Chain A
Amino acid sequence: MAERRSPDVAVAPTWLDRVRARPRLRTALTAALPVGWVIATLLLPYLLLLVQSFWRLRDGAITHELTLDNYRRLFGTGLYPRTILYSAGVAARVTIASLLLAYPLAYLLAFGGGRHKQLLYMAVIIPLWVSYLVRAYAWKIILGRQGILNGVLMATGLTHRPLDAFLYSTTAVVLALTHIYTPFALMPIYAVLESIPRALREASQDCYASRWQTFTHVTLPLSLPGVLAGATFAFVLSMGDFIAPQLLGGNDSALMVSNLVWSLFGVAYNWPLGAAVSVVMLVLTLAILWVAGRLEARWNLTGARVSAPASTA
């Protein structure tokens, strides 16, 4: 493409030229909008949440007096620590299940995907784009009293009466969250497996290592950063979930920490306490991400970029 040169007419410098001549001013002007936006819509709200967690609720109204009461109540009664532990337990089960499902599939796609590798990978990722709600709702149809599982069990004569045990249980929540977050766990594992140089695995085989030895001594250690990133995604996302627990968890769902926040900001109307619980969640999440980030950096030998959820949120 031939660039036509505009006839440069010598005119007195306009204010625009003056701005252009000063790089620092230019940077400031370009940065003003994004930086200002992020301060106004993210930094201030998060800071407010922190400040609010020290506010006092008096006679159902939020006062701006500072107090440590919310945190005292949070750590003083068994309810909140127990809830956090319970959520962490659910998240841990989801994480383990997601890894057990995702790793072999990622391995298969990366090393045995053949020509359709990219297509198969897309097929695993597509459900991430499909409504979260649809995926949670599917389990209601499957596990419900008149659901498919009960239907099949009765048709095969394993039971004579529909069982209520499936839906509205912790297991239902774990199952649905595993279904929802397995593709998340798979993405970084696949990325890191893909980045392992073929020569390394071949060298291992040339040294007469069995396929199992190649896996335990080469592939698995090199893929650990991806496993860690996948585990972090699955853990953090499922620990903070409140929609699937509410749809599928029944009474147990009240025990997820996000559901507590939900009710403190809703029917229970105690925003300062809700803010304190949120701050604890926020600190826990950031701590987990920080530790995972440090470990990933230490283990990352292949140079794969695993920590940024590039294509999906």
Chain B
Amino acid sequence: MKPDVDVTLQLIAASLMTEIAPKISDDYIQRNSMLTAMLLQSAAEEWDRAAARRVEENRTLRRLFAEVAPEIGDPELRERLDAASGEEEESLRISDLNRSNDGLRTLLIQLHAHVEGIDTEGARRIEAAIWRELRVSTERRALSLAPF
């Protein structure tokens, strides 16, 4: 049986921390080895969920854009929201999902800045939805080693 990537990374990290690093006499190299082990632990945690959280976030953003587009008065922005909301993932490679995510999050920034400048109840509702999504986006990315 071939161990999965996350299991492999976890075991390498554990070996670095408990077997290799303690035997390194140079303090700088030893601490770097410990940091490397922690990086590997984080990479292992991310590996299993990497595609899922990107797909979930991209879907959520497209759904948000579809919901709010009819309320946006700026025709150019509305058109871009409509176009983005109709897109689908062409590939589940992480690099491709990242490219989609970058495009969607750039559009989210533009939408956010746009509604901040509008003094209506509808704009406040959209703004609240954006803040909700931004909060959830940090929950999707949370790592168990992170301080906050």
Is B a genuine binding partner of A? no
Q: Which residues of B contact A (CB under 8 A)?
A: none
